Amino acid sequence: MPDPILRPAVEDDLIAILDIYNHAVLNTTAIWNSAPVDLADRQAWFLGRQQANFPILVATIEGCCVGFATFGAFRPHEGFRLTVEHSVYVAAHAQRQGLGSLLLTALEREAQAVGKHVMVACIEAQNSASIELHKKHGFRQSGALSSCLIV
């Protein structure tokens, strides 16, 4: 595999980000949405991240976006101002090649650079690849949502 390049995402990356995102929606439990989204959704997401000064990083190989990572506010309360929730996604064909680790390392640096002290990952219990990735980076499980009640 040629060396990946990590960089901030640009609007031209949104088609690839959309493809990676929708593949995860349709084929994994990694995303807490059950329906694919359209380009307008990703454009609004991108603009929202930019306006809030939250990073979106991409990994590219030979000019093609094969993964992305971002973080955003964890909770709207003042007590969580130093905490962010993050996401790391890699295209199916590029998984298990270290790209998730590269993206997470870069995202951790971004968080530290803006004074964030805690990064939270909400990972579905069967997502062993993501759990192992985060363990490798020193994350530990601090809670579990075993069931939800909707009233």
Spatial separation of the C-alpha atoms in residues 90 and 51, rounded to whole Å: 24
pLDDT in tens, 122-135: 888 888 889 899 99
pLDDT in tens, 60-89: 999 999 999 999 999 999 999 999 999 999
Q: Give yes or no for a contact between 90 and 66, defined as CB atoms under 8 angstroms apart.
A: yes
- pLDDT category at 148 given cuts 50, 70, 90 is low
* Cβ neighbours for 144, distance < 8 A, ≥ 6 positions apart: 125
Both tokens assigned to 79: 């007590």
Q: Which residues, listed in sequence order, are joined to residue 136 by a DSSP beta bridge?
A: none
Element (H, E) at 119: strand 118-120
* β 56-61/5-8 pair status: antiparallel
Q: Reduce the DSSP state of residue 60 to 3 states and report it.
A: strand
Both tokens assigned to 11: 């609007």
